Structure 1
Amino acid sequence: MDNLPEPQNPHAHLRASDTDRDQVVEVLRDALMTGRLTQDEHAERLEQTLKARTLGELEPITQDLAVPGQAFRPAAAAAPSNSPVPIEEPANPADSFETVVGIFGGGERRGRWRVKRRTNALCVFGGYDLDMTDAVFEGREVTIWAIAIFGGVDITVPDSVNVRNEGIGIFGGFAARGGDDPDPNAPTVVVKGLALFGGVGGQTSSRRHRNRNRDRGHGRLGH
């Protein structure tokens, strides 16, 4: 690798986390796009990043790329997380992936389950309920790819979680949303995908429970 400055980080001996490596990957991607690194330099440094085991091994990779406001700050050296919901980074990010299916039927995830960094939810003439109220998140940003064809995917998130809706509906509805005042320290749930003659919906835990109690009250009144 090219000659790079020696690490100056007092936390250099600490083990690097997946989040630390992800930060370096983002800096390298930006450097490649802006012409500060060639393709070969980017590939070489990316390989070094993936092999790094300590913060001291990570720091030199981007030290000569730092510009004001974009310096790499290792997560392990930063202030501790104040996330209102549990976040547990996986040992191997590549394994943080799962697929759930509801075809001519249904299924659910609820309770103390682990929300992977990426979840594929496929529903065809069926449905799936992803309730993250008491879940553990495996990243500060997780992505749900929801495909609903003549079916539906329901997503429930804690009130503090931020939600980004990036899906589309064709003869169907795609309307995932979070709370009105998400916590900046909480994870972000990105909902992508397609609703074709079906629906993908997202709501907060409090809204879901409020609606459920209201429906039960209406049921009692009806008897």
Structure 2
Amino acid sequence: MAALPEDRPPLIGEDDRDMAVRRLQESYAEGHIAHEDLDERLHQVLTVETRSEFAAALASLPEESAGTTSTIAAAAGRIQRRGVWRVPRNLRVESAFGRVHLDLSRAVIEHSVVDIEWQLGTGGARITVPRDAVVDIEDLRTGWKESLYKPRQHSRPGGPTIRISGTMGFGRLRIRHARR
């Protein structure tokens, strides 16, 4: 039986390859990998087609520095991020009143783990995560309604892990995986 278009693994984009090249070059410059290893891994990240092969090229590299936390905040109104935008390693979302929508499906995610901390008073929130993402909501505390999230049945390895923590007062967090 032929694979349906939806069953194909997501393509590795140029942004992903650029990020991988940068990480490999930094690891080489810092003395974490040898020159021969750098050449082999560069060839691998520039030619592989699957996420698992791509992840293998970056295996055993030192963890990226967590960096600082970026904050998106609004006292009232809507917070929305969608389209192509760079997702920081640590993201804090603060809103007293209003709705929040984060769409990570086309975002540039340079880190294997992204921590999103919610500090929401009143209002709902939605997150659309990449198809191959793994979502962890164990550290999220809700005051009024439980979060709505169904983990994917057949997730492919190699996607980012999105860890969601913090508190939500009166509102519900809805999380869904992108269809493409």
TM interval, shorter chain, is 0.5 to 0.7
Deviation per CA, 1:59-83: give whole Å up to 9, x if none: xxxxxxxxxxxxxxx9x85964743
Deviation per CA, 1:161-210: give whole Å up to 9, x if none: 1111121211233334542222211111111111112222211122xx9x
Match of 1:150 among 101, 115, 122: 122
Distance change (3 Å), C-alpha of 1:181 and 1:56:
closer
SS at match of 1:164: strand
Q: What one-letter code is carried by the residue in structure 2 that aligns with 1:170? A: G
Looking at structure 1, the residues matched to 133 and 41 of structure 2 have their Cα atoms a distance apart, in angstroms, of 24
| Structure 1: runs of 5+ lacking an equivalent | 1-13, 21-51, 58-73, 210-223
Q: Give 1:33's aligned residue.
A: none
Distance change (3 Å), C-alpha of 1:176 and 1:120:
farther
Q: Give 2:32's aligned residue.
A: 55
Residue 83 in 1 paired to residue 48 in 2? no
**Percent identity among equivalent residues?**
25
Residue 194 in 1 paired to residue 167 in 2? yes
Kindly indicate which of the two structures has a greater share of residues assigned to strand: 2
CA contact (8 A) 2:147 2:173 kept: yes
Looking at structure 2, the residues matched to 172 and 115 of structure 1 have their Cα atoms a distance apart, in angstroms, of 27
Q: With the length of structure 1 as denominator, give the TM-score of the two structures.
A: 0.53
| Structure 2: runs of 5+ lacking an equivalent | 1-23, 56-63
Q: With the length of structure 2 as denominator, give the TM-score of the two structures.
A: 0.64
Distance change (3 Å), C-alpha of 1:147 and 1:176:
farther
CA contact (8 A) 2:93 2:118 kept: yes
For the aligned residue pairs, the C-alpha RMSD in angstroms reads 3.4
SS at match of 2:147: strand
Match of 1:119 among 91, 100, 123: 91
Kindly indicate which of the two structures has a greater share of residues assigned to helix: 1
